[in-house]
A and B are shown apart, each in its own frame.
Chain A
Amino acid sequence: MEKFKKLISTAVALSLQDVDTDQIIPARFLKATTREGFGDNLFRDWRYNANDEPNSDFILNQSEVGGEILVAGKNFGCGSSREHAAWAIYDYGFKVVISSFFADIFKNNALNNGLLPVQISDEFLLKIFAAIEVDNKTQLEVDLENEQITIIQTRESENFDINPYKKYCLQEGYDDIDFLISKREEIEAFENTISI
């Protein structure tokens, strides 16, 4: 996993609520057996029409906007447990997803892949959408160390919460499996005490 410290970038605004994992990556693209390449089909059915032509209304097809941050409406990532959703977003080039609420499994999956889910208040989310609407070159700063997000142009900022252990993992590029493997002996001892 790559290390994450601080990111300053323009952002892509997707102002819809309840964006589910079937939209992030439709099931028919889950047939791969490796983790790479899912970015090509990120938001596939919103990005392309039925004839596989890019849909010019969709934000990712509007070339003047871009960046490593995705900002989305409330309850982002609901639906299936497919980690492919986090892989697709990361593979496409996003390092941070901002929303006022994340579905649980998606949040875990993102954190396990170095994709930082930043959960902020509904009010601050509206401010970000508004700032981007006025100027799509608006830059956001995501500072993991200080757990703070700032709209550079307006200097408005808000703090976000992240679990200290997960923060450490992101900063160090350390993942859960490394940690669990280091606990193998303890797990074996536990297993010997149970009867199920």
Chain B
Amino acid sequence: MGAKTLFDKIWDTHVVHSIKDGPQVVYIDRHFIHEVTSPQAFAGLKKRGIGVFNTSKTIATADHNVPTKDQHLPIKDALSRHQVNTLINNCDEFGVELYGLGHPYQGIVHVIGPELGITQPGMTIVCGDSHTSTHGAFGNIAFGIGTSEVEQVLATQCVLQRKPKTMKIQVDGKLKQGVVSKDIILYVISQISTSGGTGYFVEFCGSAIESLSMEARMTICNMSIEMGARGGMIAPDETTFEYIKGREFAPNGTDWDKKLAHWKALKTDKDAVFDTEYHFNAVDIEPMITYGTNPGMGIGITESVPAINPTSDPSLTKALDYMDLQGGGQLLGKKIDYVFIGSCTNSRIEDLRMVADLVKGKQKADHVNAMIIPGSKQVEKQAMEEGIDQILAGAGFELRQPGCSACLGMNEDKVPTGKYCVSTSNRNFEGRQGPGARTMLASPLTAAAAAITGHITDVRKMLN
């Protein structure tokens, strides 16, 4: 048998059926659903008069559309309320476990899966959400699907998919001070563009990746979709096993031993061939920030925005117009209005700790509106236990309740037209954080630094 990549090993053992010259029927081990992309799928089941194929493999939560204040009160917006209620009713009717508002496990779908130990190595995982790629940090195949595919999984526990090509992205070396995993992935996307990974499934490897914590690895896999890839994965190792052990839905006893033996074998063979490979050096990476309207438009914090030539590059011209930035100029010192720390990219306890460490004893700039949205009820609880909430409040940050919040501006948390927001989320598309909002993506450290000084800042100057 030929040498195989980790991706191939997991994929091949999940194929139920192959259509000649067509897609394959892939069995799905875990299916996460939320209020926005599931209602039409349940409606489809009802229309066909069928139930959920295997309710034990589907987990639901409410995150995209929920308020991040006063979650104990009824949702004010009628449409949002209706959508969240539709999820409650569907889960009830079809027998799906729901960690809805008020539940101690509620949170952003890609935060709760890992923290509950539901996400495990070797699995196939899908969700009607593109950032499902987050779960790949545990060495599994996780990818986002559309609502028709959500319906497929509910109806049959399978999706029809064409096998993607494989890409290796190796990052070696030691990260410089002030550079964190968010900077790695923003750097990689700036190098290979937002479509560079389209058609591929990525495996991240190399010493810089291996040295990262699980939460930092999730940030990287989370944004693999932003380079167009179906998903990203990192081979499981001791860091992975240590993280999973003892979590709510992690295997235990002899089951743990059996699973562990299986997980330890989940590696790309030495001679396996990837369709494409990239190599990067960690020392080349600076704290990153985006200047444009897609996540590939990123630069090192001390670099200049690219100069434009309007005739040859209408998309860049449009992006800088929207951002009201000059081609060729620097971002350092640019005054900002909002700081958003949250989203499935950077809302875990380590992110909050990182921010708290930096802002402890300091005060945010007066003109900045700084909000922090924990990824889940459990993150929120832990932040309180560690006193992080007090530190943040002391520095003038507003700690809100778990949800997607201003990451996509579906609830009332939005950035107003024309305002600049340094955001730890994953998309800086036009209007993503609210109509006319100007988003600059960065790490939690860089975002926190901007909140303190009130302008784009090189966080390295604030360390030590």
Contacts and interface: CB of A to CB of B under 8 A. Distances in A.
A and B pair up: yes
Given A81-B144, A184-B156, A187-B27, A22 B430 contact: yes
Contacts of B314: 15-16
B296 to A, nearest CB: 8
A187 B156 contact: yes
A18 interface: yes
B21 A26 contact: no
A16 B199 CA distance: 21
B240 interface: no
A183 B435 contact: no
A187 B151 contact: no
A28 B409 contact: yes
B148 A101 contact: no
A176 B148 contact: yes
B43 interface: yes
B55 to A, nearest CB: 13
Given A34-B40, A190-B16, A28 B129 contact: no
B17 interface: yes
Interface stretch (A2-10, A58-66, A120-128, A162-170): A162-170
Interface residues of B, number: 70
A170 to B, nearest CB: 13
Contacts of B463: none
B155 A186 contact: no
B158 A180 contact: yes
A80 interface: yes
Contact of B130 (A73, A79, A176): A79
B260 interface: no
Between B50, B79, B120, the greatest number of chain A beta carbons within 10 A of the residue's beta carbon is seen for: B79
Nearest to A165: B22
Given A81-B144, A164-B22, A165-B19, A75 B198 contact: yes
Interface of A: 15-18, 20, 22-23, 26-28, 30-35, 45, 50, 73-75, 78-84, 86, 101-105, 108-109, 112-113, 163-166, 175-177, 179-181, 183-184, 186-187, 190-191, 194, 196
Interface of B: 16-17, 19, 21-23, 25, 27, 29, 36-37, 39-40, 43-44, 48, 50, 53-54, 64-65, 77, 79-80, 82-83, 86, 120, 122-123, 128-130, 132, 144-149, 151-152, 155-158, 160, 162, 164, 194-195, 198-199, 228, 230, 294, 314-315, 318, 408-410, 417, 427, 429-432, 435-436
